[in-house]
Every structure is written in structure tokens, then in C-alpha cells.
Chain A
């Protein structure tokens, strides 16, 4: 990543893998032979103040990646360095100190707020846990935060159910920003919201980033949402990262056939152009991560797959400056129109 060589990464993920037991037995599945390989050998970096988008379809392991970085689940193998320290090797005390600088925004604004706590209690909880300030100082800060995220500070004593989905997501955002963390993992923060509210929340996240210089790991299944906010974008398929680049390159010159097919599915808000576009329709469903395909995991659905694809795992190579791709046939627009059977 040439534009970033002068900076040290805030978060560095190296060969991260996470497997879940696919069957439960007498011993809770700890000796199960079959495993779901949810995340497989994923590596990337996030620099201070940038937004790193992570996209992929449901079940491709993007949320698991986020949760493993936060150590809400423990990685099976691989390392996660936050400010140069390995998160996976931290003890409880170090983990708590780390979490002051790394926060999480959840997808479901209804499930992520405790229904029995007031907004004031919810937003001040991170400060309470980390012993920041006195009670009055914390409450003053909560009012500030509510104001910053566009909520009425007078509502501090209300309960979550009295707010709409968008407002509740703002509460979740206020909570995440309470300790001014350096990195926030946003796990599909807008996909549960109405489209008009999505834009408002995305703009709020952008404004807050400008104000506080926070880095985001932005997880989404919607390329247009990611495009709106990300500096760099990574695409995941079936637990593996297939392509990483700055968003402009990724959107204009995709090198991986999967990325290209995803992009072809994003609608264009001009009916005349939309009519002439050819969509790349992938055949079938994603294979089960219990028994992932050999070689390149995408070969079963890839329109340009060759024999080698089912035999050898494609190498993770730099195809352009800061642009990485894992495909045997990585090149600009690997899928030609002649490949598309319409």
C-alpha cells in the first residue's frame, strides 16, 4: 500500500482463521471432526483515520471477521495486531484497555440496546466501565454525545423502545463514540434501516470520522453503501478475501471475477444505461463452508474457471499499486462480454 507506507497500521490482521464445530456432541462439539471454516487466512491492515470496507454476501465470514478482531470470539489461528499488540494473546486486563480504543456498532438497533436501561445509562456505560469522570461529568458527556449524533439531550431518561430504528442506531453510535475510540467496527450498521435513514446515518458516521479521526472497519453486503463511505474496500467470498483495493480502482477496474459480478448487480440510477447493462448472473448458491471447494473457493460458480482453479489455491498477489487480488486469471475485467451467456 504505497500511499500508506509512511504510516504504521492501526490494525493489522495476519492470516486470521476462525472455524466453528459443525456438529455438537456430548462434549459440546469440541472434538468434532467437521468444522465450518467461516474465515480462512484473511490478512489486511487498517490505518488511522481511514475507512476500510468489507463486503461479501451473507455467510461469507465478514461479520465473524469483525467479531474475531474484537475478540468477541477467539480466532482459531492467525494474529490480530492493534497498535502493534497481539489482541489474540491479550489477558483480560490488556483486553479491557484495548477495548477502550476499539468499539463496535451493531447491525440490529433493536437487539443491541438493553431494553431495561435508559439512554443515559446505555451511552454512559462505556465510561462507567472504564471509570472515566464523575457521574455528573459522564452525564454531561452523554448530553454532548446525544447532541452530536442528532438526538435531543432531553431524552436522556427515556428507554430504547421510545425511539425509531434510525434513532436507536444513533444511540448505538453515541455509545461507540463515548470513549473516543481509535477504531470502530461497524457491522452492517445501516442494513437494518430504511433507505432514507441509511443515508443520514452514513453521513453522521462520516461527520463523526472527520471530527474525531476515527478509523472504521465497515462491514456491509451492499457495495453502494460501502462506496459511499470507504477509502479502501475488500471483497470476501466464502471465508476468503478475494480482492482489496482503494474503492475507486475496485469499482472501475475489478480484477476478480467475483468482484465484477457483484458490481454488475449494483443498479444504476439511469434507466437507459441500466437497460443496456449486462448482468453477470452467478449460477447456484455459495457452496457450504463445511466442505469448501478445493483450489479456488470460487471456481464452482466462476464463469471463467479453468482446470487449474479447482486444483490450486490462487496466490494473493499485488496486481497494481496497493491493489491485491487472489485469482489465477487476475486482470482488468476478467469477465469479457463473450463469457456472459444471456
Chain B
């Protein structure tokens, strides 16, 4: 029953107040502050610039790439003798492939496939993951058990093998690649979101909303989601990189997107027989995969540091 003296309490309260003010300041302008911190991170800035560059090139390719470098798919068999397997030159900066097609233009068009797969598959994974994670964390009990055990089952399978099996079942095609990679990506996102929600759920403002009579949907959308979304942004960004990588593996194995549509994975596969005589056939699309996936990973890393509350004063 004995309370500490009033001066002690005052001191403690004042301390708690400044502390809360600091953390509060961050939480309110979270996105603004995060952007400022991200700008200070050189690697993340380079990653962002690179991603924007790749997106711009892929989106605007129809306007200039073909006029400059020729068609990425058609091959002129009459001229093969003079155009096939040319090394990099000013005319063909990345060289040409077996069919005399310019590799740069194929890499540029391959970026379209990779980026779409990365974004669409990650969106599918994220939506499923968010719903599953929210159900598990918010309702708990039997829901939690069922969903998280299901996630464990998904995660227990070798990932690429699982995707290959799904593509085999669904058939080839870009749409099926979206679906396969998208569906198989949900368990990790569900786990991350579930733990974020469980942390946020403990806050009194969630109980306050419930006490007001707010619906579960409103509590999730207005109170839990805005306070737990940061971790998902980080995770989804990194997931784009790994989805690109998975798509490339599939193409390399000859699954998924069908030729002659250029994809980075299928270009590497086509080049592997010519590794000694025409190494640019493999190196160029390989570099494209490397830089793009690395850029998404570095951006994810940067976002994690920028959004991390504890790193604030660092």
C-alpha cells in the first residue's frame, strides 16, 4: 500500500514521459522518419535506384529496345551464319545467342517476366499470409493450431520441389507460375504477421476498441494492422527477390514460362552448353538476376533498419 514518495514518483513519471515521447514521436511519423533513415543508407539508396532503373527499362522497352536491338523472340534463319553467337560489341552490347538474337534485348524483356512474377507472386503470398496470420493470431485457439500446423506442413516440403510439383500439376504458363509461387509463399508471411499481431494485440487500445463495441474487422483494420504492418513491408520486399529467384530456377528447369518468351532462367539454361565458347550467354542474364535479387534484398534490409523502432537514435 505504501507508495514511493511523491518526488520519486514525479521523477519516474517524468522519465517515463520523455521515454514515451521519444518512442511516440517515432511511431507517429514512422513512415517519414523511416524514409529519412533509408536515405542515409547508401546501399539501400543504390538498391532503390537500381530497382527503379530496371522497372523503367522493362516498362518502356517497347518504345526503343526493338528498334535498336531487334526482336527478342524472332530469329532470322537466313542470316544465322553471320549473326549467331557474336561476342559483345557496340552493336550488340551483351552479344548474341545461338539464334542470332541480341542478348541485351532478351535480358530487358526477361526483366518483365521476372518483375511481374516477383510482384504478383509476392502479392498473392502476402494477401493469403495476412489473412491466415490475422485469423491465427486474432482468434487464437483452434484456428491458431490449425493454421500454424498447416504452415509447418507447407514449410516442411523442399520449396523448389514443391513448386515444380505444382507447375507439373497446373501446367506451364506465366499464370500458373504466379499461382504456384504465390500460394507456396504464404506460410512465412503468415508467421511474421501472426507474431506481429500477437505483440500489438496486448496493447490496451485494442481492448479499448473492443470495449467500444468495434467489430473484429474494424479492430484488425484500424488498430492492429497499422501497428504491425512494418514487419510485413520488410518481409514482402525481400520475398520479391526470392520469388524472382524461384521463377528463374523454374525457367532454368524448363518449367513455367514457355519459349520463345525470354526469361533470365531459360537464357542461362540455353547458354550452359556454350559456357566455354560464348560465356556471355550465361553471364549476362546471370548478372541481371544477381543484381536485381540483391537490390531487393538490400532494400529489404534497409527498410528493416529504417523501420526498427529500437534503431532510432543510431
Residues on the B chain within 8 Å of A126, using CB: 212-213
A188 to chain B, nearest CB (A): 12
Q: Are A104 and B213 in contact (CB under 8 A)?
A: no
Q: Are A28 and B140 in contact (CB under 8 A)?
A: yes
24 contacts between A and B (CB under 8 A): A97-B213, A99-B212, A103-B211, A103-B212, A104-B211, A110-B24, A111-B203, A111-B204, A112-B205, A114-B227, A115-B227, A125-B214, A125-B222, A126-B212, A126-B213, A129-B218, A159-B28, A160-B24, A161-B24, A165-B16, A194-B13, A222-B1, A222-B3, A267-B2
Q: Are A28 and B141 in contact (CB under 8 A)?
A: yes
Q: Choose among A57, A114, A262 the residue with the greatest number of B CB atoms under 10 Å from its CB.
A: A114
Residue among B17, B205, B207, B223 making CB contact with A164, cutoff 8 Å: B17
Interface size on A, residues (CB 8 A): 50
Q: Which of A114-137 contact B (CB under 8 A)?
A: 114-117, 125-126, 129-130
Residues on the B chain within 8 Å of A106, using CB: 204, 207-208
Q: Are A125 and B17 in contact (CB under 8 A)?
A: no
Cα(A331)–Cα(B7), bound, Å: 39
Residue of B nearest to A168 (CB): B20
Residues on the B chain within 8 Å of A113, using CB: 205, 208
Q: Are A70 and B211 in contact (CB under 8 A)?
A: yes
Residue among B2, B144, B145, B203 making CB contact with A265, cutoff 8 Å: B2
- Once A72-B207, A106-B204, A115-B227 are accepted as A-B contacts, the answer to whether A195 and B1 lie under 8 Å apart by CB is no
Say whether A148 faces chain B, with CB atoms less than 8 Å apart. Answer: no
Q: Are B207 and A159 in contact (CB under 8 A)?
A: no
Interface size on B, residues (CB 8 A): 39
Residues on the B chain within 8 Å of A142, using CB: none
Q: Which of B132-159 contact A (CB under 8 A)?
A: 140-141, 144-145
Say whether B90 faces chain A, with CB atoms less than 8 Å apart. Answer: no
A267 to chain B, nearest CB (A): 8
Give the A-B contact count at a CB cut-off of 8 A.
114
A195 to chain B, nearest CB (A): 5
Q: Choose among A112, A116, A159, A195 the residue with the greatest number of B CB atoms under 10 Å from its CB.
A: A116
Query: Chain B at the A interface: mostly helix, strand, loop or mixed?
Result: helix
Residue of B nearest to A106 (CB): B204
Q: Are B213 and A95 in contact (CB under 8 A)?
A: yes
Q: Are B28 and A125 in contact (CB under 8 A)?
A: no
Residue of A nearest to B10 (CB): A194
Say whether A32 faces chain B, with CB atoms less than 8 Å apart. Answer: no
Residue among B21, B210, B211, B223 making CB contact with A114, cutoff 8 Å: B223
Say whether B61 faces chain A, with CB atoms less than 8 Å apart. Answer: no
Residues on the B chain within 8 Å of A267, using CB: 2
Q: Are B24 and A111 in contact (CB under 8 A)?
A: no
Q: Are A115 and B2 in contact (CB under 8 A)?
A: no
Q: Which of B170-216 contact A (CB under 8 A)?
A: 203-205, 207-215
Q: Choose among A104, A193, A265 the residue with the greatest number of B CB atoms under 10 Å from its CB.
A: A104
Chain A 194-205, CB within 8 Å of chain B: the 1/0 string?
Answer: 111000000000
Say whether A304 faces chain B, with CB atoms less than 8 Å apart. Answer: no
Residue of B nearest to A130 (CB): B213
Residue among A57, A111, A114, A194 making CB contact with B1, cutoff 8 Å: A57
Say whether A46 faces chain B, with CB atoms less than 8 Å apart. Answer: no
